């Protein structure tokens, strides 16, 4: 039987466990399932022998997430069109006061990084998340994963090189990103192609995720001309009872488009050298359910 104190310990660390699970899986529902399973393991464990509850809970969560990720990869699920992670609300508030730490956490959960993490092996992904996002020492990660420290260091180096080679470079100035997001939304909504062209980098990319369940490009669009014209065409189509809401998703500002008060799509941009370098459009209704109460 779990005491109130032991329940409180788990709840205290739930945000970290959810953060680990989501970065491992890129899916909110799967991450919630993993954290719930970790709670069941915690409830059934002989907690008298647990000297460091935080490390114990992270170890359980990480191993459960690895198992879930291996199951997904083994199924080889086909996905219609480009894939993006399920949007994840990230409001660090006062819990992460250090600016540099906030930037690291925000980057580790960004759409661009999570897309790259999909190409890592489950073990590489676990080591990268624990080391780069949460700063765990190699020795502690080795214990969590039941691996030798030299092997963990090799996994970390391989994962870091892979991510560094493939993730886009962008600016992390929150104020500039918010400003460009607002101007982008206004230009797209008004069908202002000239205004959009002023905001978009020449080599901008638009990644749309619909899973084949809504209208979105089934391939990545490239160049300011192609992206701008697509956005003007989309902006000209009416959405019933449309409204907008700004919120923080995956470490940065995003626009939630609502139809009749329900999520219709999410837009988010990355910024480089003062212009929009990437546009992400999420329209898969399965990935928007968690935002219904946002």
Task: Specify whether 255 is located in the same domain as 119.
Answer: no
Task: Evaluate whether residue 252 is within a structural domain.
Answer: yes
CA distance 17 to 40: 14
For residue 98, the model assigns a pLDDT of 47
Task: Specify whether 264 is located in the same domain as 212.
Answer: yes
Task: Specify whether 181 is located in the same domain as 206.
Answer: yes
For residue 47, the model assigns a pLDDT of 74
Task: Evaluate whether residue 93 is within a structural domain.
Answer: no
State pTM to two decimals: 0.88
For residue 237, the model assigns a pLDDT of 73
Task: Specify whether 40 is located in the same domain as 130.
Answer: yes
- Which residues form the domain of 64? 4-82+98-166
Domain of 287, CATH number, reads: 3.10.450.50
Which residues in the chain come in under a pLDDT of 70?
1, 74-77, 91-105, 236, 294
Task: Evaluate whether residue 92 is within a structural domain.
Answer: no
Task: Evaluate whether residue 87 is within a structural domain.
Answer: no
Domain of 151, CATH number, reads: 1.20.140.160
């Amino acid at each position: 039987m779990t005491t109130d104190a032991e329940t409180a310990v788990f709840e205290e660390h739930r945000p970290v466990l959810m953060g680990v699970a989501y970065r491992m899986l890129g899916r909110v529902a799967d991450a919630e399932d993993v954290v719930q399973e970790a709670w069941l393991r915690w409830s059934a464990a002989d907690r008298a022998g647990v000297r460091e509850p935080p490390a114990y809970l992270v170890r359980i969560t990480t191993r459960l997430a690895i198992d879930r990720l291996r199951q997904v990869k083994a199924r080889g699920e086909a996905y219609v069109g480009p894939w993006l992670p399920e949007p994840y609300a990230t409001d660090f508030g006062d819990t992460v006061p250090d600016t540099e730490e906030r930037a690291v956490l925000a980057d580790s959960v960004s759409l661009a990084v999570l897309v790259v993490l999909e190409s890592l092996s489950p073990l590489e992904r676990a080591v990268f998340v624990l080391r780069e996002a949460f700063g765990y020492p190699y020795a502690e990660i080795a214990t969590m994963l039941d691996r030798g420290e030299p092997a963990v260091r090799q996994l970390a180096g391989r994962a870091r090189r892979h991510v560094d080679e493939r993730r886009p470079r962008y600016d992390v100035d929150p104020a500039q990103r918010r400003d460009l997001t607002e101007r982008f939304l206004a230009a797209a909504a008004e069908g202002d192609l000239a205004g959009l062209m002023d905001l978009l980098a020449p080599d901008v990319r638009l990644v749309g995720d619909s899973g084949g369940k809504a209208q979105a490009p089934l391939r990545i669009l490239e160049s300011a001309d192609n992206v701008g014209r697509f956005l003007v065409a989309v902006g000209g189509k009416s959405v019933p009872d449309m409204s907008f809401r700004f919120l923080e998703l995956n470490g940065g500002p995003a626009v939630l488009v609502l139809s009749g008060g329900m999520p219709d799509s999410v837009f988010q941009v990355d910024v480089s050298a003062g212009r929009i370098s990437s546009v992400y459009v999420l329209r898969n209704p399965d990935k928007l359910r968690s935002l219904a109460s946002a």
